[in-house]
Amino acid sequence: MRHGFLRVAAATPVIRVADCEYNAGRIIELIDKTEADGNKLVVFPELCVTGYTCGDLFLQDTLLKGAIDAVKKIVDHTKGKEIVAVAGFPYIVRGKLYNTAAVICNGQVLGLIPKMSIPNYTEFYEARHFTAGLQEPFLISFLGREVYFGSQLLFQCTNIPDYILGVEICEDLWIPKSPSIEHCIAGATVIANLSASDELTGKDAYRRELVKGQSARLVCGYVYSDAGEGESTTDLVFGGHNLIAENGILLAEADTFVNGIISSEIDLGKLKSERRRMHTYLGQSTASYQVVSFTLGDGEGELPETMLTRFIDPAPFVPSVKAERDKRCRDIINIQAMGLKTRLSHTGIKNVVVGISGGLDSTLALLVTVKAFEMLGHDKKGIRAVTMPCFGTTDRTYNNAILMAESLGVTLMEVPIKEAVELHFRDIGHDKNIHDLTFENSQARERTQVLMDIAGKYDGFVVGTGDMSELALGWATYNGDHMSMYGVNASVPKTLVRYLVSYFADTTGDQKLKEVLMDVLDTPVSPELLPPKDGEIAQKTEDIVGPYELHDFFLYYVLRFGFEPSKVYRLAKQAFGGSYGEEEILKWLKTFYRRFFTQQFKRSCLPDGPKVGSVSVSPRGDLRMPSDASAALWMKELDQL
């Protein structure tokens, strides 16, 4: 159970209404199947022991006694099993009948939870038979031992400490103040919902969004089990629409009208991290709550490792669905342009300078700058796009930079810097034939000096082009491309830069501009500081620091959730198993951590730039990290992998 992954299932048995013995057998079969698949929790539908649609049969003593006998059979069968089962049945307490959930583990009933909200409208007539549950738990005798009965019960696993289960039943989710709200505030990380929600046209979509929204609002895992085939079709049909969600993300969903099992892994570590970051996620007094502890297995030794079956997105910053991706691109571009627009309005400046190289980052910065000028109604000639060819500039990137500036209608300026850099080499005593860091950084700083001085000449400022991935790795020359007056790409990861430029290409009505942008997208990422080989780019960034798709993946899980290196490595292996070998992933993960820690001093003095997503390296916002922090703990863990 390392890394906080908890495998859970929602199961819908094919039942017979009022045949408790038969139903217990089907429930037991599914418990065995789900446990064999490594699940540590299985949730069954509301009143599944008897059937939800028993109607006035709930007033029959024979049915109620048969339900208790069936629950005992289920409880006895779980002895020695490493799984919690939650099943619904009718139960009388203090003379009143309650729609009840039994939480069962290792041959014991851990607690009984009554349904709080009893629907009695449209097709539902539960108030004819059931009483609304009580919040504060109290002890009752059930199957020969004392157990708590009440809504405010939590169940905490001793050998998976972050596994804290809360339970609510069907309608409890649909009301304005559901019990799960209090459960999660009191510490629950996983909510089980036993439901019998009949199918109506369009109801499945509403139900799906309801479960996703509740898991997002409460930052929890949510396991929803729905009644299905076997329930009476007198007036209603049940579809077995099971759902598993985690913090707003749907992990698994059953097809309607297909009884069976869905399962996935809830990342308890991610939930814990998210709640820790949210200072508005406040706890409340749990005086009225009873926390019941339980242990999976015999408590000796570690539980088996959870095999991951859930999808781990290799591009967490980039939506996989085109419509969602296009919307994301449109929103980000608007945020970037609006931030720059505000800065221009505040300063009253109508001239800006953008260094263009024919590469992705400078292309995006120029496109965003043009959009900001269009928002303001400023003359685009006030945008000075400056190309500064030097030792590493290729014809391809040079021509693309020029064609792009001409297509966009901005002022193009060409300032060759080769002679200036060579003079600088002579001044500092550097051999221009030695292609070391001095050779590279001198060019980067000369370019920045040119841009700054042009901005001063025209009473403007420099728009920065560097992206978040480069900043995370420190792949920027200090006081070179590292510096500007406003960095529009500062929180845009490299993998997303590509899609933003592609979005511009797809939406522009200028065929010439589209062709240029498509060629920029096909150009290898490079700072072009080393001389070309046979006219082609010789210095490819990803050959030096590693693939940006890997680094962006690392960046997301390290900064967004604070995961330890071993978990990031495990997730990366799952996400990139068909693309990179384990040794290669580990190599670049070590590179990421080493550079991330040693290069913080560059991020500590970043220029302003708009935050566009949930991750940012701004020293004024999301990453207030000391420049001299040691990476020893993280590197030690990496060395042990």
Sequence-distant (≥ 6) Cβ neighbours of residue 334 within 8 angstroms: none
If you average pLDDT over residues 465-483, what whole number do you get? 96
| DSSP designation for 229 | B
Contact between 203 and 22 under an 8 Å Cβ cutoff? The reply is no
Contact between 369 and 361 under an 8 Å Cβ cutoff? The reply is no
How many Cβ atoms are within 10 Å of 325's Cβ, its own excluded?
A: 18
Which residue type is seen at 169? Answer: I
Phi, psi (deg, nearest 5) at residue 224? -115, 120
DSSP string, 113-131: EE-S----STT--GGGT-P
Give residue 538's pLDDT: 66
Sheet strands (E) in 274-382: 290-294, 352-355
Q: Is the pLDDT of residue 286 over 70?
A: no
Return the structure tokens found at 401.
């930079």
If you average pLDDT over residues 436-445, what whole number do you get? 94
Contact between 432 and 404 under an 8 Å Cβ cutoff? The reply is no
> Which residues pair with residue 414 across a beta bridge?
387
Contact between 515 and 491 under an 8 Å Cβ cutoff? The reply is no
Helix%, strand%, coil% for the chain, nearest 5: 40, 20, 40
Contact between 257 and 233 under an 8 Å Cβ cutoff? The reply is no
The residue with tokens 């290792």 is 106
Q: Across all residues in the chain, what is the average pLDDT?
A: 95
| DSSP designation for 307 | P
Phi-psi label, residue 11: left if phi above 0, alpha if psi -120 to 50, beta otherwise? beta
Residue 542 banded pLDDT, cuts 50, 70, 90: confident
Please list the active-site residues: 46, 115, 170
Sequence-distant (≥ 6) Cβ neighbours of residue 279 within 8 angstroms: none
DSSP string, 574-638: HHHTTTS-HHHHHHHHHHHHHHHHHTHHHHTTPPP----SS----TTTT----TT---HHHHHHH
Return the structure tokens found at 16.
């017979």
C-alpha distances in Å from residue 347, one per residue of 14, 340, 461: 69, 11, 10
Give residue 281's pLDDT: 78
If you average pLDDT over residues 617-639, what whole number do you get? 95
How many Cβ atoms are within 10 Å of 335's Cβ, its own excluded?
A: 18
Return the structure tokens found at 225.
């089990």
Return the structure tokens found at 630.
């040691």
Q: Is the pLDDT of residue 301 over 90?
A: no
Return the structure tokens found at 78.
């779980």
Contact between 638 and 590 under an 8 Å Cβ cutoff? The reply is yes
Which residue type is seen at 371? Answer: K
Q: Residues 71-94: pLDDT tens digits? A: 999 999 999 999 999 999 999 999
Sequence-distant (≥ 6) Cβ neighbours of residue 397 within 8 angstroms: 357, 358, 359, 523, 528, 537
What's the CA gap between 591 and 584, in Å, rounded?
11
Sequence-distant (≥ 6) Cβ neighbours of residue 391 within 8 angstroms: 418, 421, 439, 443, 529, 530, 531
If you average pLDDT over residues 62-79, what whole number do you get? 98
DSSP string, 623-635: ----TT---HHHH
Cβ-in-10-Å burial (0-12, 13-18, 19+) of 52 comes to: buried
Residue 524 banded pLDDT, cuts 50, 70, 90: confident
Give residue 500's pLDDT: 97
When mean pLDDT is compared across 294-303, 366-375, 502-511, the lowest value belongs to 294-303
Sheet strands (E) in 215-326: 221-226, 243-246, 249-253, 261-267, 290-294
What's the predicted TM-score (pTM) here? 0.92
- CB-facing half-sphere around the CA of 182: CA atoms within 13 A: 20
Q: Is the pLDDT of residue 284 over 70?
A: no
Q: Residues 369-378: pLDDT tens digits? A: 999 999 999 9
Query: SS3 of 362, please?
Result: helix
Label the pairing between strands 243-246 and 249-253.
Answer: antiparallel
Which residue type is seen at 327? Answer: K
> Which residues pair with residue 176 across a beta bridge?
none
Q: Residues 92-108: pLDDT tens digits? A: 999 999 999 999 999 99
Contact between 14 and 196 under an 8 Å Cβ cutoff? The reply is no
Query: Pick from 234, 241, 183, 251: which is nearest to 8 by CA?
Result: 251
Query: Pick from 553, 531, 564, 571: which is nearest to 636 by CA?
Result: 564
Contact between 86 and 167 under an 8 Å Cβ cutoff? The reply is yes
Query: SS3 of 142, please?
Result: strand
Residue 622 banded pLDDT, cuts 50, 70, 90: confident
Residue 32 banded pLDDT, cuts 50, 70, 90: very high
What's the CA gap between 166 and 190, in Å, rounded?
6
| DSSP designation for 290 | E
Phi-psi label, residue 377: left if phi above 0, alpha if psi -120 to 50, beta otherwise? left
Give residue 534's pLDDT: 73
Task: Please give the domain boundaries of the chain with CATH numbers for all domains.
Answer: 8-294 (3.60.110.10), 322-639 (3.40.50.620)
C-alpha distances in Å from residue 364, one per residue of 13, 361, 371, 458, 610: 54, 5, 11, 23, 14
How many Cβ atoms are within 10 Å of 264's Cβ, its own excluded?
A: 25
Total count of residues recorded for the chain: 641
